[in-house]
Structure 1
Amino acid sequence: MKKIINMLCLLLATQAILAQGNWDPVGPKSDNQENGNGFETSQLNNITVDPNNHQHLFASGWYGGLWESTNRGANWSPINNSVTGLNGVSAVTFLSSTEILVANFHPRPPFGYDNSGAHHYYSTGIWKYNFSTHGWLALGALPNPSGLPFGIRSIAVYPNN
């Protein structure tokens, strides 16, 4: 009897998984063919939901740039293809109802790994993106008195500013 119940549960679980539909990659796809498939460096690192509209999402990756969805993730469009120095994105946060702040990412050395296998990257700036006008503004170089590479992993916004 236990075997029959277990088989029935397994059958129902399989049907539920199959009913979820098919997943197809929409990007980003890297030129890095180290693995032969080009997807290993296009990892997703952040998903940011618009606090004023939960249909509006931003997804970003260290090598994959910034993507936008206006329909809860059913469709995605890359939005930073024309921005020099913003190929990789390490952090995204909402600044206002029409703007986000985006921190860039650069791997160091190529593909961000050294001989020890440790992952390294650095950031050089923060950009402001207005998703109503599709305009980008570089906010300037970040202070770095030590001169050592640093990475931005998150951005905090003071609510009254």
Structure 2
Amino acid sequence: MPQKLIRDDYKELSLSEVHEHLDDLYLELLSLVEQLVQCKVTIEKVTNEGRINCAKARYIQGPKTVGISKLPTDESQEFNALVRVEQIQSESACAEKEFQLKRYPIDKEAKFIDPIRWFGVLVPRPLQVTKEKFQNSLELIIEAANIQMQMDNIMVSIQKLKEQKSILCA
């Protein structure tokens, strides 16, 4: 998106420039809405594929080996998440900040463990696919959140332009 679309100050613009900026922002907003809808559809698809593979793993291994009984409890040894969400400064013209995933390597000493190992050493392939699908889903969720933040920023700019337009028309 062109840098000119998002600005802090619209007071120096003429009425025709305000209209032009509004048109550009609305077009960009429509494009982002389309991206967001596509992203959410893909999230649903990938998540459903992960659930199906989890059900396959449970069917293959049995309900006792792939189930809630394998998840950590309050008495379990503490561990750190292998993936965390961070907010960083954005390079995009539409948003000041954006989210990104930070991945950590598996390191037992630093308490970064692979959660798939809770289900045993020889993990069935459908469970490994489940892990991959949910990791992909998480990346798509971050992408959707970033698109939503861009849309919010564009809406703020549209509101500022509408206020400037009403001042110029008065």
Q: Between Structure 1 and Structure 2, whose CA radius of gyration is higher?
A: 2
Structure 1 length as normaliser, TM-score?
0.24
Larger strand proportion of the pair:
1
Larger helix proportion of the pair:
2
Query: With CA pairs under 8 Å and 6+ residues apart, which has the higher RCO, 1 or 2?
Result: 2
Structure 2 length as normaliser, TM-score?
0.23
